[in-house]
Amino acid sequence: MTSLPFFWRTALAGLSGFLFFLCLPAPNQGWLAWIALVPLVWACQGTTLRQAMILGLLYGIISHFLIFFWIFHVPQFHWYHACILAFYLGLYPAVWCGALALLPKIQFYQLLIAPAFWVILDYFRAHAGFLAFSWGSMAYTQHENLPILQIMSLTGEYGLTFLLIAINMAAYIFLSKKCIKVLAVTLAVAMGIWVWGFFSLTHTPVASQTVNIALVQPSILLEERKTEAGLEHSLQRLEHLTQSAAQQHPDCIVWPETALRDFPKNTDQANRIKKLVKQIQIPIIFGASEYEKYALSPDLQTNQPVGIYGTLAYNSAFLLFPNGTLEKPYRKQRLVPFAEYLPWQPWCKWPHWLIEKSYHITPGSEPELMILDSELVVAPIICWENLFADFIYPLVKDGANIIVQLTNNNHFGFSAASRQHNIASQFRAIENRTPIVVASNTGPSIIFDSQGRTLAVLDELFQENFIHALIPLEDKRTFYFNHPDWLAWVCIFWIFLNLILMIVRHYKPR
């Protein structure tokens, strides 16, 4: 491989990027993930640090540009935004490939250090401040492989990522050095994990209770939100679907993110919703855009508002009971940067060509658990908050026994975005052994049990309908729930320790 022209190395890196794209929805060929990185690893052998990082960057740009091609559906999103996003996400595999070029050509290092370093980079990518974005990680490729997904109850998605990278490295070692032993051992470990996961799925956990949850998918179009007639039509559709769902006698009905506008400021709309809930005698959790007045110049002596009033905008979730009680809303905390808010305000002035429009949503200050009865405690989350594992498990620790996700992926049309988005909810369910229901405006609305199995789904996008399912709730929690992200920290320690040992060996007198 040392004599391979750099052009052909770039072709191999591009091939890996394309193979990884095929692993995710919509191609959804997850089996390719076990070998997708072999061409990239092969291309990096015998290169300089700079060349390896260029190859990794090329892989990252190609794969992420293809995976997130649906983002062009978003208004004001241009080709240069896609280039910036793909370049940023490509930096992580670039660093990994650079490390790969520096690793000693020893099977031990290639088989264990390379996966550990990938896990570390995934961890940093998920905790990079306003740039945090774990969507489309290596683990996403296995969302249909339920037995192998059960490893997440022990390790989170980092354990599955480690396994996938290790198999890729073992395949490379076999092809390049004809060493069947390394590949056989690695495959045996993977098969053992699969068998364990298979039998754990056949074991039905003891449910503390079963709840019936219904999800309404109204498919409210963007154009409908721009006119009074459209808003009225969408509200009528919500009422009709809710009355149909109520015939299944659910314990709760859920509407998607921003199903209502200007709630509860719009009193006529609020009264209609209260009338509906009273009529069906079933509580409803619903998403709404919420506006709240605030004083721009409060009197610091009396803390009373004086002067001009402004408006705070929230992306909120409400719980309304049949007796008319409206619980304190949950206000979305993890906002989407450059869409719902601008980072580093007011210190940073972003150029207009980069950010044409931002909605300036105000983040909520704390989570809100919604207690429907003494045994049913709901933790609402909104939109992409399902991506963040460290955001979800504290909700379960606080007492939630079911997660309700409200989302609206209307902007992404008939693309693969919504299906990719739902994968993260499946992961959070397995990690915490807590069911997650996803009420989506345009679909797919889906109900996951505590082991990531699909209990009900409206798979067709922009379908006006509802689903419901009996969801078993269990009290047992996972090792990952009690020790979140432990594997990432073990990998950090492992890499740090080996780095010290390599430095010591390098400077040790001979």
**pLDDT tens figures, 49-102:** 999 999 999 999 999 999 999 988 887 888 888 999 999 999 999 999 999 998
pLDDT at 297 (0 to 100):
47
CA distance 137 to 472: 29
Q: Locate tokens 């390599």: which residue?
A: 502
Element of type H or E holding 390: helix 389-397
pLDDT at 360 (0 to 100):
83
pLDDT bin (cut points 50, 70, 90) of residue 293 is low
Pairing of strands 445-448, 436-440: antiparallel
pLDDT bin (cut points 50, 70, 90) of residue 300 is very low
Least trusted range by pLDDT, from 164-168, 288-292, 469-473? 288-292
Question: 323-337 pLDDT, tens per residue?
Answer: 999 999 999 999 999
One DSSP character per residue, 242-280 reads: HHHHHTT--SEEE--TT-BSSTTT-HHHHHHHHHHHHHH
pLDDT at 44 (0 to 100):
95
pLDDT at 454 > cutoff 90: yes
Mean pLDDT over all residues of the chain? 91
pLDDT at 187 (0 to 100):
96
Question: 208-222 pLDDT, tens per residue?
Answer: 789 999 999 999 998
Element of type H or E holding 445: strand 445-448
DSSP-based helix, strand, coil % in the chain, nearest 5: 50, 15, 35
CA distances from 491 to 86, 346, 377 (A): 26, 37, 35
pLDDT at 163 > cutoff 50: yes
Tell which wins on pLDDT, 136 or 508: 136
Find out whether the peptide bond into 11 is cis, omega within 30 degrees of 0: no
pLDDT at 158 (0 to 100):
98
Q: Which of 198, 288, 284 is nearest to 241 (CA)?
A: 284
pLDDT at 306 (0 to 100):
47
What is the Rg, in whole angstroms, of the alpha carbon atoms belonging to the chain?
25
Class of domain 209-475: alpha beta
pLDDT at 313 > cutoff 80: yes
pLDDT bin (cut points 50, 70, 90) of residue 312 is confident
Q: How many residues does the chain have?
A: 510
pLDDT at 307 > cutoff 70: no
If you average pLDDT over residues 455-459, what whole number do you get? Answer: 95
Which two three-digit tokens encode residue 308?
């001009």
If you average pLDDT over residues 333-360, what whole number do you get? Answer: 85
Letter for the amino acid at 224?
Answer: E
pLDDT at 501 (0 to 100):
83
If you average pLDDT over residues 122-143, what whole number do you get? Answer: 96
| Contact assessment for residue 38 and residue 172, using Cβ atoms and an 8 Å cutoff | yes
CA distance 384 to 389: 11
Q: How many CA atoms lie within 13 A of 13 on its CB side?
A: 26
One DSSP character per residue, 146-160 reads: HHHHTTHHHHTHHHH
CA distance 98 to 95: 5
Pairing of strands 252-254, 284-295: parallel
The reported pTM is 0.93
